[in-house]
Amino acid sequence: MLVGQYVRRVVIVGGARIPFARSMGAYAECSNQDMLTATFRGVVGRYGLSGERLGDVGAGAVLKHPRDFNLVRESVLSSGLSPESPAFDLQRACGTSLETAIIIGMKIALGQIDSGMAGGVDTASDPPIGVGEGLRKILLTSSRGRTANERLKPWLGLRPRHLKPSVPGVSEPRTGLSMGQSCELMAKRWQVTRDAQDQLAFESHRRAAAAYDEGFFTDLIVEFEGLREDNNLRRDTSLDRLAKLKPAFPMEGSGTLTAGNSTPMTDGASAVLLASEDWARARGLPVLAYLTFGKAAAVDFVKHEGLLMAPAYAVPRMLQDAGIGLQDFDLYEIHEAFAAQVLCTLKAWESPEFCRERLGLAEPLGSIDRARLNVKGGSLAMGHPFAATGARILATLAKLLDQRGGGRGLISVCTAGGMGVTAIVEKN
């Protein structure tokens, strides 16, 4: 039976993550499994789940070794949970952990399971490096040989060029452009200024530093490899320092995106614990907030739209599902892949032309109160381990709503491949 007798509310019990670290640094010797396991253990320890059998666990990684074909299940087996807790791997680029949370949430809502954990992990310090296509063909041809001569013959064609390794690409296969270059084109199209991007980046670092200083992240972060705080955070940054940085992805001879207003390559992992109300309360666990809506969208970024603009489409469709407007939120958590991406999305929602021609709306969605945006900092300050960001945001937002005593929050995450994942979190 896929659906129970009634739809249940999905509780966000809480979450945990290891500090995010700039790649090739603190976690250079750590694997995806090391980091995800440490994060799962953090959740298990924080909520007293040792030996507990969860209904399901979902997570994933964008940069993934062949050895990690069963990454999440292997991490669960070392987490302290009951070995009878099933697990699955999923990947939707930068929206991976938010997507897994939505899927686990739907299973809980429909009565398939009572509890589950969702998360994500990524490391750019330990990327999957494989053999090139030429050497791969030699290996496969040789393995198909039936005789010693047939197995040896392909190797006679081996040349030095065949020894060049194959490393993960940083460009979109359909356009050949990196994400930064694609966002630079978006910034030009939407006339997003360098000053506006630097201001958003500055606020991200300032707010994240203040959140650490006030102890907000104390119960959300698990110490790992000697780190207790995201090491991308720049407490001493300033608008003057940001203004001195050179363009990182210049297009057509100019550019506004820099290392300061773009996220760096980052290693890290995060997870959230979700449950039905009965399951959480029977164990004396907190009910921080509820995951109430989720939506994914995609755009034709090859011909018609900016690579990272899909959330601009997903959010209004989700608002229609919920029967509310863009201004009906107390908090907004928009993933800061690049400051320009956030600002392009906000401009799109304010544009009568975009909302009419692209979204089919009679009126623009309108603007948001920037004071409610990423109030504890965002990805520009903390870093962005691709698959881990969504769960970081979800746990942060749930805690914020609980501290406020109620309210509604919006989550928006852009991804590679022209996709976006969004969600609504509420407490009432």
Q: Judge whether 162 counts as a catalytic residue.
A: no
Q: Judge whether 355 counts as a catalytic residue.
A: no
State residue 321 phi and psi, 5-degree precision: -60, -40
The CA-atom distances, in angstroms, between 64 and each of 17, 69, 80, 280 are: 19, 8, 23, 33
Query: Residue 233: CB partners within 8 Å, gap ≥ 6?
Result: 205, 208, 209, 212, 377, 381, 382
- Active-site hit among 335, 344, 355, 384: 384
Query: Residue 168: CB partners within 8 Å, gap ≥ 6?
Result: 63, 127, 128
266-275 and 115-122 beta bridge pairing: antiparallel
> What is the amino acid identity at position 82?
S
Please give the span between the terminal C-alpha atoms of the chain, in angstroms, as a whole number: 31
Q: Distance between CA 158 and CA 292 in Å, rounded?
A: 57
- Active-site hit among 30, 65, 94, 335: 94
Q: Judge whether 65 counts as a catalytic residue.
A: no
User: Is the separation of the CB atoms in 189 and 257 below 8 Å?
Assistant: no
Three-class DSSP category at 44: helix
Chain center to CA of 392? 8
Tokens found for residue 256: 């506004």
**Of 14, 4, 10, whose CA–CA distance to 284 is shortest?**
14
115-122 and 21-22 beta bridge pairing: unpaired
Residue positions annotated with a catalytic role: 94, 384, 414
